[in-house]
Amino acid sequence: MQQQTGNGQINAPRGIERRRTERFNFIGGEVYLFAKWRDLNESQPNERHLLRLRDLSVSGISGLTDAPVAVGDTLFVQLDETLIPAAQVVWFRRVLVGFSFVEWLPQSRLSILRERHEAGHLWSPAMRLRSDLPNWWTDVGEHERGRQGIISRN
C-alpha cells in the first residue's frame, strides 16, 4: 500500500514491482523538463530543468532533478527535438523522481533512443547544449548568422 507523506512524497513498500513495462538503463543521459508547453519555444535557462536519467521505458522515466515537483504534477520531457511527451510525477524522494507518460512512447522511438544512447551519441538537446560541439550546431542564431554571411557574400 502506498502512503503519501506530509511533504508530498510517496512511500511505496519495497520489494513490490509496480512497473508494467521493461525499463532500460539510461544513466549518463540528460533531458529537459518544461512545466508548460509554451516554454518549449520561448524557454530561457531558468524556465527549464535538467533531468539526469536513471532509466526509461515506454511507460515512464526516472532520474535526478532540481525541478520543484509534487506528486500529480504534469511536465513535458524533451527526449529529442520531435519527441516531447507529457509525463506525470508518480513518486519522488529528495531529488530522485519518477514519471509516468500520459501517452506511452512508441516502442520504435524507444528503440532508437536506446541505440543512440548505447552508441554514446549526444541524442538529446540537453546533452548537445552541454557538449563540445561547435556553436553552429547547438545555437540556431549562430547558424542563421553564418548562413546569412554566406548568402551575402554571393
Domain boundaries, the chain: 3-108
Q: If you write DSSP's letter for every residue of 26-49 in order, what string do you get?
A: -TT-EEEEESSTTHHHH--GGGEE
Span 59-86, pLDDT tens digits: 999 999 989 999 999 999 999 888 999 9
Superfamily of domain 3-108, CATH level 4: predicted glycosyltransferase like domains (2.40.10.220)
Contacts of 108 (CB under 8 A, 6+ apart): none
Most confident range (mean pLDDT) of 1-10, 39-48, 99-108, 133-142 is 99-108
